[in-house]
Chain A
Amino acid sequence: MYKLVCGIETHIELSTKAKIFCSCKNGFSAEPNTQTCPVCTGQPGTLPVLNREAVLLAVKAGLAVNCKINSKTHLDRKNYFYPDLPKAYQISQFDEPLCRDGYITLASGKKIRIERIHIEEDAGKLIHENGYTYIDYNRCGVPLIEVVSKPDLETPEEAAEYAEKLRLIMKNAGVSDCKMQEGSMRCDVNVSVHKENEEWGTRTEIKNIGSISDIVKAVRLEMLRQEKLLESGERVVQSTMRYDSAHGRVYVTRIKENSDDYRYFPEPDTVAFEVPESVVEEIRNALPESPDERFERYTKKLALPENKVSLIYGYKNVCGFFDEAVSLGASAENTINLILSTVFAVLKTEEERERFSLKISAADFAELVKLADSKKIRINKAKEILPEMLKSGKPASEYLKEEDLTALSEDELLSLCKTAIDENPKAVDDIKCGKAKALNALLGYVMKASRGKADSSKASELILSLIKK
């Protein structure tokens, strides 16, 4: 009955070495207020100096989502008072964002338009403890891009898919590590509902959504809340909401009847800057393969099944390893299967899979896969020794005996099948009576006798044809 109109504003911390306006380290620090300096704590008399790397990464981010780059632009001051904002203004971009008019394509083929991407500095962090509020300025001055989508999202699932896609793209491009739990990617979701053919409703903004899956929950909850209000004849008030994952609810934190007046004006301490066309082109040409392009390549060119590809295509390092192994002659199918079934059983966390640092090389991996490809060993044998290889870092040859490496000949297979039949007359009778399951006993005999080398489907065929005779 009610339609959803949803747009997302995402703040993403850029992976630069230094902060955006000073030379403080941009990185995680356990101790509060240890990565600060007079500039990022807003001491009187200090001035901002724009970090070139931040601008270039922001351009890269824009290109990764098909934006047009605004070569000549400037910074603006956004003025407001808050304890985590040392200068009482945030240096951001107002009327001339660095990037505009991009898009992200969802699985359905629907394009979600990106209105703009601009650069700005992050604020500090407030920590509430023991009735006091502490301020950690380590995060102050960390370079951010703000990615603003147009309100093209029509379902909670689309909203989550957009956010996840954005995360994947930015991570893949090396723009950010995009960890929502750590705050290097933060989504503020705007939600409004309206009845079909009526005007769009008033929107609210939901903050503090800590994960992609929470986006779905938060949007659903807010849709429900708004629908309830409208059904009871009340109106939706423009407000800022907070998502409380512990109690599964959204609640109003601030009513915003009028929009805030930030008194934007061009930042006088920094000069207008320009990213030359040639530099933009350089960055464009150096863009890595996007997750979508990789998905295409794996499913179309390598003919791998979509459900399997979708499990690895988001991990840059996994795919890099995969590509290397395949380039060394390993079959795509066995490589992906071994990664999914065996390696991922060892590397269980997101963190480990992101990093994908193995003790063995892609060459070692390829060697193992090729043995299975050529049927010198059974795929199950490969699955058996791979965990050992991962633990020790030793190559396959360490775990395979001479005899393991020789394939089973046709004659040998035939003879084994004959022996199986001879040794298991009851099973043979059962098969003749139509109990197809009895085949397993004979197969088991052959597999055991051949130490797993026999091809089970071939053996089944042979056994059945011998019995028929």
Chain B
Amino acid sequence: MMELIYPLSKMLKNRELSAVELCESYIKKIEAENKKLNAYTSYTFEKARKNAAFADSVLKTGKGGVLCGIPLALKDNICTQGDLTTCASRALESYRPCYSAAVWERLEGEGAVLLGKTNMDEFAMGSTGETGIYPPAKNPNDITRIAGGSSSGSAAAVSAGLSVYSLGSDTGGSVRQPAAMCGAVGLKPTYGAVSRYGLIAHASSLDTIGVIASSVRDAALVFDSISGRDLRDMTSCDVNYNTASALGKADVKNMTIGFSEQFINGAEKTVIDSVKAALSFFEKSGAEIIEIKMPDLEQLLAVYYIIACAEASSNLGRYDGIRYGHRASDCESAEELIIKSRSEGFGSEVKRRILLGTYVLSSGYYDEYYKKACAVREKLKEDFDSIFNTCNFVLTPTSPSVARPLGTEVTSPVENYLSDILTVPVNIAGLPAISLPVKGDGALPAGLQLIGKRFGESELMSAAYFFEQNCLLSLSGGEYSV
């Protein structure tokens, strides 16, 4: 994987290549290869060509930022006006929003080129890419394996060169984990750094729009562009980032990295090896590695699922077939219409989580489950904040294992949930984290996760960049060659 945005932007600005030409080359590649990979679930080629023409007109005047004319893909839970935005669900199978998400508005204004919408787990619920209504996205490194989830298509597209970069959503690891599975860089920003306006909600207090790219610098450039306050999202924060300019300025000798054996407990051997090698690299480069005490990770997983399912059960209430989305036929009453439309519209994983969420919010159980989970969450935030008093970053594997085969039988859904154990605490605490692709098991990459302090993306990106540029384990950030 190599750095793409700057080199391409330079070529566009030097008029070595036009945005239209660049766009057409990606379109050609998608048409040739997407059927094999299922990265995209719908194309927006007409819009892409319009975007590219606009970008060229801007570039001609000598203006245009670094993202002008650069093609991207968006996860299919990010609203783009007039385009299919389905969340890989029958409930929204034919839905075309009448408005665009804040992130797309911003990018479109900068001349970005939208190639299409990417595959995902239904309503972002899942970590294998298999719970949606479309054939699942395949791992470009080995097409018999999963691309991870829930932003499976976004990661597969970048990894297979079908998009320069993509946006996904990360509620419990859904940007970082697929990035790790596919060998791309996956950035989950601090909660509130990027506007959620137009992101179809899964769990409101956990959802974060993230960036999947082929290098740290690419991720930084996109993040700088999409972050910042949006008046339409009350949870968005007044931040102004320039993380790209912080790259190369990592002060490794004064860096302290927190680690715990807990993180590699039960992980696959290749993952453990990579993590240990990464730690050793940082140590040799002058950083101090300290042992930190993390709260019970399995308890955190329970906290996550209680809160996420509770919020999701409420957020998904609106899919009743009345104003938009799938509407059941031959119904005799409003109640029947609502029940049938939802029963027909949702897949089993979504139904499972709605039931769970409804249960933990119901009277008699609210205090024991939801309220308690929220209290533990507050405690975790405090614990993490104090950890960051003693170290700059926490280092973990992104996932305990590399990509498993598609269609693997799971004896219980909880088994699936356990694979999120390393990414979920980050969402609970609202912190930024980045997954960096490292050598894994043969063709299958693994992911190294660096967690930073709240709104500490600049520091985080520069540490990630240092690793990417200097560690032989790294699979990203190579030099672009035409």
- A residues with CB within 8 A of B: 38, 41-50, 77, 79, 81-83, 86-89, 133, 135, 261, 263-265, 268-271
Give chain B nearest CB distance to A205 CB in angstroms.
19
Chain A residues with CB under 8 Å of B323's CB are 41-43, 86
Give chain B nearest CB distance to A137 CB in angstroms.
8
Chain B residues with CB under 8 Å of A87's CB are 317-318
Q: Judge whether B79 and A265 touch: CB under 8 Å.
A: no
Q: Judge whether A265 and B317 touch: CB under 8 Å.
A: no
Which of A45, A49, A50, A261 has the most chain B CB atoms inside 10 A of its CB? A45
User: CA separation between A79 and B200, bound complex, in Å?
Assistant: 18
User: CA separation between A271 and B363, bound complex, in Å?
Assistant: 24
Question: Taking CB as reference atom, which chain B residue is nearest A261?
Answer: B363
User: CA separation between A44 and B84, bound complex, in Å?
Assistant: 13
Give chain A nearest CB distance to B358 CB in angstroms.
7
Within 8 A of A (CB), among B193-234: 196-201, 204-205, 231-234
User: CA separation between A269 and B205, bound complex, in Å?
Assistant: 7
Known: A45-B197, A47-B232, A79-B314. A268 touches B334 (CB 8 A): no
Task: Name the contact of B361 in the complex, choosing from A44, A79, A88, A133 (C-beta under 8 A).
Answer: A79
Determine whether B366 belongs to the interface, using a CB cutoff of 8 Å to chain A: yes
Chain B residues with CB under 8 Å of A38's CB are 97-99
Between A and B, 7 residue pairs with Cβ closer than 8 Å are: A43-B324, A45-B201, A49-B231, A81-B335, A265-B361, A268-B311, A269-B204
Give chain B nearest CB distance to A281 CB in angstroms.
26
Give chain A nearest CB distance to B122 CB in angstroms.
13
7 more A-B residue pairs beyond the given contacts A45-B77, A46-B198, with a C-beta to C-beta distance below 8 A: A41-B323, A47-B234, A48-B234, A81-B335, A89-B314, A265-B314, A270-B235
- Chain B: residues with Cβ within 8 Å of the partner, total of 43
- B residues with CB within 8 A of A: 77-79, 85, 87, 92, 95, 97-99, 101, 196-201, 204-205, 231-235, 310-311, 314, 317-320, 322-324, 334-335, 338, 358, 361-363, 366, 370
Q: Judge whether A268 and B98 touch: CB under 8 Å.
A: no
Chain B residues with CB under 8 Å of A88's CB are 314, 317-318, 320
Chain A residues with CB under 8 Å of B232's CB are 47, 49
Give chain A nearest CB distance to B322 CB in angstroms.
6
Give chain A nearest CB distance to B124 CB in angstroms.
12
Known: A43-B97, A268-B311. A49 touches B318 (CB 8 A): no
Q: Judge whether A265 and B234 touch: CB under 8 Å.
A: no
Chain A residues with CB under 8 Å of B334's CB are 82-83, 133
Q: Judge whether A43 and B362 touch: CB under 8 Å.
A: no
Q: Describe A's contact surface by its main secondary structure.
A: loop
Chain B residues with CB under 8 Å of A77's CB are 314
Q: Judge whether B314 and A47 touch: CB under 8 Å.
A: no
Known: A46-B197, A49-B231, A263-B362. A86 touches B314 (CB 8 A): no
Chain B residues with CB under 8 Å of A81's CB are 317, 320, 335, 338
Question: Taking CB as reference atom, which chain B residue is nearest A269?
Answer: B204
Q: Describe B's contact surface by its main secondary structure.
A: loop
User: CA separation between A88 and B318, bound complex, in Å?
Assistant: 5
Give chain A nearest CB distance to B100 CB in angstroms.
10
User: CA separation between A270 and B236, bound complex, in Å?
Assistant: 10
Which of B200, B338, B363 has the most chain A CB atoms inside 10 A of its CB? B363
Give chain B nearest CB distance to A56 CB in angstroms.
17
Q: Judge whether B199 and A265 touch: CB under 8 Å.
A: no
Chain A residues with CB under 8 Å of B233's CB are 47, 49, 269
Task: Name the contact of B370 in the complex, choosing from A43, A49, A133, A265 (C-beta under 8 A).
Answer: A265
Chain B residues with CB under 8 Å of A49's CB are 231-234
Chain B residues with CB under 8 Å of A264's CB are 361, 366
Task: Name the contact of A44 in the complex, choosing from B95, B310, B314, B366 (C-beta under 8 A).
Answer: B95
Q: Judge whether A44 and B322 touch: CB under 8 Å.
A: no
User: CA separation between A209 and B303, bound complex, in Å?
Assistant: 46
Known: A44-B79, A44-B97, A269-B204. A86 touches B318 (CB 8 A): yes
Chain B residues with CB under 8 Å of A269's CB are 204, 233-235
Q: Judge whether A268 and B199 touch: CB under 8 Å.
A: no
Question: Taking CB as reference atom, which chain A residue is nearest B205?
Answer: A268
User: CA separation between A384 and B329, bound complex, in Å?
Assistant: 70
Chain A residues with CB under 8 Å of B314's CB are 77, 79, 88-89, 263, 265
Chain A residues with CB under 8 Å of B319's CB are 44
User: CA separation between A270 and B233, bound complex, in Å?
Assistant: 8
Chain A residues with CB under 8 Å of B196's CB are 47
Question: Taking CB as reference atom, which chain B residue is nearest A79?
Answer: B314
Chain A residues with CB under 8 Å of B101's CB are 45
Chain B residues with CB under 8 Å of A46's CB are 99, 197-198
Give chain B nearest CB distance to A459 CB in angstroms.
75
Chain A residues with CB under 8 Å of B322's CB are 83, 135
Chain B residues with CB under 8 Å of A44's CB are 79, 85, 87, 92, 95, 97, 200-201, 318-319, 324
User: CA separation between A42 and B318, bound complex, in Å?
Assistant: 7
User: CA separation between A5 and B366, bound complex, in Å?
Assistant: 32
Q: Judge whether B234 and A43 touch: CB under 8 Å.
A: no
Give chain B nearest CB distance to A64 CB in angstroms.
28
Which of A46, A50, A82 has the most chain B CB atoms inside 10 A of its CB? A46
Q: Judge whether A45 and B200 touch: CB under 8 Å.
A: yes
Chain A residues with CB under 8 Å of B338's CB are 81, 83
Which of B204, B231, B335 has the most chain A CB atoms inside 10 A of its CB? B204
User: CA separation between A269 and B233, bound complex, in Å?
Assistant: 8
Which of B79, B198, B201, B317 has the most chain A CB atoms inside 10 A of its CB? B317
Chain B residues with CB under 8 Å of A265's CB are 310, 314, 361, 366, 370
User: CA separation between A33 and B370, bound complex, in Å?
Assistant: 37
Chain A residues with CB under 8 Å of B310's CB are 265
Give chain A nearest CB distance to B325 CB in angstroms.
8
Which of B95, B314, B335 has the most chain A CB atoms inside 10 A of its CB? B314
Give chain A nearest CB distance to B310 CB in angstroms.
7
Give chain B nearest CB distance to A362 CB in angstroms.
44
Q: Judge whether A50 and B234 touch: CB under 8 Å.
A: yes
Chain A residues with CB under 8 Å of B234's CB are 47-50, 269-271
Give chain A nearest CB distance to B429 CB in angstroms.
15
User: CA separation between A89 and B317, bound complex, in Å?
Assistant: 8
Question: Taking CB as reference atom, which chain A residue is nearest B196?
Answer: A47
User: CA separation between A271 and B335, bound complex, in Å?
Assistant: 33
